[in-house]
């Protein structure tokens, strides 16, 4: 029999402060004071009550029992159900959503005073409205199963924080709000991961009765080969999956003969050339890293992961799954591993942290355009233990450099490559910085620099160090001019030629972090040498051409909107032209000098 709700307000006990407050189940309004002349459902500590909440990820209601701390998709029968969906859309929900989006930080456990005057439409672009009597609401469990959604995750330590009455600081909508605790974010992510696994993983059967293999048993280390893909693949790619798995087993030392870098190259080629195989390769590697009894195999597997995460990203569907797998891995798999000694744990910890950082990076930048060379693969395997000067932040690059050459105020690699361009007569080379250098020679020079070998060897073409210099700037983990200053640069670029534009441009540079400021000044001095009018008839690289080539290396549009990116391009170039035309704001004793005539 359907429950009849004859009240508008309910009394709710704050589990942290044990203080009662009142919530309107229709409007979401909250108050510490008991409403006057209102129908109120008083709290009953002895009754078996369920709260009806809403999961935005799947668009379905779910049910939470405060007493047992149990969550269910299925609507409980013969139970008192209190609809709290409207309350989720008020101050509490807005703050939780904003916290989740921002990430990090800690939650204060001081109770928040519900604000009756809160504008119900403020920061609520899509308020949830659910008909609690609809078949969809009553059959959420059935819908969840058909859509491949797992059971709600039960985490007793976090149950209080999951409910809509969790106490938190009052949210000031004009300030940047704090964020959800990491363990609650993990709980929410795990909920999404289970749903992904049930939707995208292939069903496997084994034994003479062809019984279904549970997912938790399928995704663990195995010495045996696989006969079918772990994930749903197109028919033409299904035969490639077992080949990939054999390569992974060989590379990790789980199958003879032991794999070499050539096997890693074959595996990477399959992933780079066939986008749909990328998630399959990642899942297969995760499988062989799960409950693996061999420390040596684990280290080889994570070194393989370190190479893959700089070669191609997972799909957007699989991204959260993989990020969560790597983030949780050490605590779940290594901390209590009986066969792993302390030195091996430290090595694994280093590689896993490196993989997590590189994964987040490649999810932003996208896959490589070509298969890595053997030298690049070897470099990728040792990168966790010997950090690269490519793809890192300027601050990290300087920390690495400080250990070798103290008191050097600019990145050695930038100085080396810029001076190499000048020494190889780049100022008298047509198309310098526009014509690419030989790909193999650029790769060779990059690997040499990563080995701390700052010499050109037999390189005679200035386009090689020129190409690598552009790549180094473009590959910095953070843009040379931080995103926080991007819009200011665009505004100044839009005023090119007007009074005050030059001063404003250099004022932006002056407030940059010290290392960023020095690099900007160095590069501007260097580009002024290349752009000298006496060089232009030979190089064919005018000021406008150089600004067009280098603007993306100085500025990165933080927007994903293609129209915005396109429209801002001309202002990025204008900003750089202003800087090149008008010197620098400091004298750097290590700066490049014009070549001798």
- Report how far residue 443's alpha carbon sits from residue 439's, in angstroms, rounded to the nearest whole number: 6
* Percent residues over pLDDT 70 in the chain: 70
Residue 163 has pLDDT above 50, yes or no: no
pLDDT of residue 53: 75
The average confidence (pLDDT) of the chain is 76
**pLDDT for the residue numbered 72:** 76
* pLDDT confidence of residue 211: 61
Give the phi and the psi of residue 263 in degrees, each rounded to 5: -70, -40
What percentage of residues in the chain have a pLDDT greater than 90?
39
pLDDT tens, position by position, 386-400: 888 888 899 999 988
Residue 219: band (very low, low, confident or very high) from pLDDT cuts 50, 70, 90:
confident
pLDDT of 202? 60
**What pLDDT band is residue 40 in, cutting at 50, 70 and 90?**
confident
Q: What pLDDT score does 147 carry?
A: 39
Q: In CATH, which superfamily holds the domain spanning 394-581?
A: Rho GTPase activation protein (1.10.555.10)
Residue spans per domain, the chain: 9-169+180-195, 208-381, 394-581
Task: For residues 310-339, give the mean pLDDT.
Answer: 88
Q: What is the pLDDT at residue 213?
A: 58
Answer for the pair 107, 178: CB distance below 8 angstroms, yes or no: yes
Q: What pLDDT does residue 148 have?
A: 38
Judged on CB neighbours under 10 Å (0-12, 13-18, 19+), 589 is exposed
Residue 244: C-alpha distances to residues 215, 222, 276, 475 (Å): 20, 14, 13, 29
**Over residues 109-134, mean pLDDT:** 33
User: Is residue 261 scored above 80 in pLDDT?
Assistant: yes
Q: Higher confidence at residue 152 or residue 325?
A: 325
This prediction has a pTM of: 0.59
CATH class of segment(s) 208-381: mainly alpha
Question: In the numeric block, which tokens belong to residue 503?
Answer: 């001063």
pLDDT over 80 at 339, yes or no: yes
pLDDT-derived band of residue 210, with 50, 70 and 90 as boundaries? low
What's the half-sphere exposure (Cβ side, CA atoms, 13 Å) at 428? 7
Mean pLDDT of 222-236: 86
> Binning pLDDT at 50, 70 and 90, where does residue 75 land?
confident
Res 149 pLDDT > 50: no
In this structure, is the dihedral angle defined by the CA atoms of residues 248, 252, 255 and 260, taken in order, positive or negative? positive
Residues whose CB falls within 8 Å of the CB of residue 18, separated by 6 or more in sequence, listed in order: none
Instruction: State the average pLDDT over residues 471-494.
Output: 93
Lowest mean pLDDT among 38-52, 254-268, 296-310: 38-52
Domain 208-381 and domain 394-581 have a common topology: no
Average pLDDT over residues 69-80: 76
In sequence order, the 6+-apart residues with CB closer than 8 A to the CB of 226 are: 241, 242, 245, 284
Report pLDDT for 228: 85
Q: When comparing pLDDT for 293 and 140, which is higher?
A: 293
Q: What's the alpha-carbon Rg for the chain, to the nearest Å? A: 29
Poorest-pLDDT segment among 111-120, 373-382, 475-484: 111-120
The pLDDT tens digits of the residues spanning 547-568 come to: 999 999 999 998 878 888 889 9
């Amino acid at each position: 029999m359907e429950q009849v709700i004859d009240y508008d307000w309910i009394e709710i006990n704050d589990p942290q402060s044990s203080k009662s407050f009142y919530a309107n189940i229709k409007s979401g309004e909250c108050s510490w004071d008991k409403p006057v002349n209102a129908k109120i459902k008083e709290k009953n500590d002895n009754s078996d009550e369920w709260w009806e909440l809403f999961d935005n990820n799947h668009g379905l209601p779910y049910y939470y029992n405060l007493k047992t701390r149990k969550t269910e998709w299925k609507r409980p029968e013969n139970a008192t159900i209190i609809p709290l969906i409207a309350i989720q859309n008020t101050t509490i929900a807005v703050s939780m959503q904003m916290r989740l989006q921002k990430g990090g930080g800690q939650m204060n456990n001081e109770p928040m005073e519900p604000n009756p005057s809160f504008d119900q439409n403020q920061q609520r672009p899509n308020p949830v409205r659910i008909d609690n009597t609809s078949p969809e609401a009553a059959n959420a469990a059935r819908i969840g199963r058909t859509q491949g959604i797992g059971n709600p995750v039960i985490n007793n330590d976090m149950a209080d924080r999951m409910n809509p009455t969790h106490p938190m600081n009052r949210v000031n909508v004009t300030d940047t709000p704090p964020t959800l605790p990491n363990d609650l974010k993990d709980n929410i992510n795990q909920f999404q991961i289970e749903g992904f696994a049930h939707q995208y993983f292939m069903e496997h059967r084994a034994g003479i009765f062809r019984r279904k293999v549970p997912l938790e048993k399928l995704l663990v280390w195995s010495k045996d080969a696989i006969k079918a893909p772990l994930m749903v693949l197109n028919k033409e790619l299904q035969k490639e999956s077992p080949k990939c798995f054999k390569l992974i087993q060989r590379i990790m030392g789980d199958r003879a003969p032991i794999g070499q870098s050539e096997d890693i190259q074959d595996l990477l080629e399959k992933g780079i050339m066939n986008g749909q195989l990328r998630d399959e390769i990642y899942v297969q590697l995760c499988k062989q890293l799960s409950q693996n009894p061999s420390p040596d195999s684990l280290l080889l597997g994570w070194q393989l992961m370190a190479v893959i995460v700089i070669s191609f990203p997972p799909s957007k569907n699989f991204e959260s799954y993989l990020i969560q797998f790597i983030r949780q891995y050490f605590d779940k798999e290594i901390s209590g591993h009986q066969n792993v000694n302390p030195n091996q744990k430290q090595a694994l910890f280093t590689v896993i942290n490196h993989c997590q950082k590189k994964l987040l990076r490649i999810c932003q930048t996208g896959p490589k355009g070509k298969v890595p060379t053997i030298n690049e693969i070897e470099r990728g395997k040792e990168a966790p233990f010997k950090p690269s000067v490519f793809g890192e932040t300027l601050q990290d690059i300087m920390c690495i450099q400080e250990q070798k050459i103290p008191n050097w105020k600019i990145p050695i690699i930038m100085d080396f490559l810029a001076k190499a361009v000048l020494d190889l007569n780049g100022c008298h080379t047509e198309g310098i910085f526009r014509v690419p250098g030989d790909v193999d020679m650029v790769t060779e020079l990059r690997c040499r620099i990563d080995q701390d070998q700052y010499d050109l060897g037999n390189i005679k073409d200035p386009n090689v160090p020129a190409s690598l210099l552009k790549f180094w700037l473009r590959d910095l983990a953070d843009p040379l001019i931080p995103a926080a200053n991007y819009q200011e640069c665009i505004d100044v670029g839009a005023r090119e030629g007007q009074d005050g534009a030059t001063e404003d441009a250099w004022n932006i540079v002056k407030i940059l972090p010290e290392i960023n400021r020095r690099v900007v000044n160095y590069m501007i001095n260097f580009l002024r040498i290349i752009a000298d009018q006496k060089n232009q008839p030979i190089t064919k690289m005018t000021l406008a051409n150089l600004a067009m080539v280098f603007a993306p290396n100085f500025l990165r549009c933080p927007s994903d909107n293609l129209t915005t990116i396109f429209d801002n391009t001309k202002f990025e170039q204008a900003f750089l032209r202003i800087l090149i035309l008008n010197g620098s704001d400091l004298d750097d004793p290590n700066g490049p000098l014009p070549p001798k005539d």
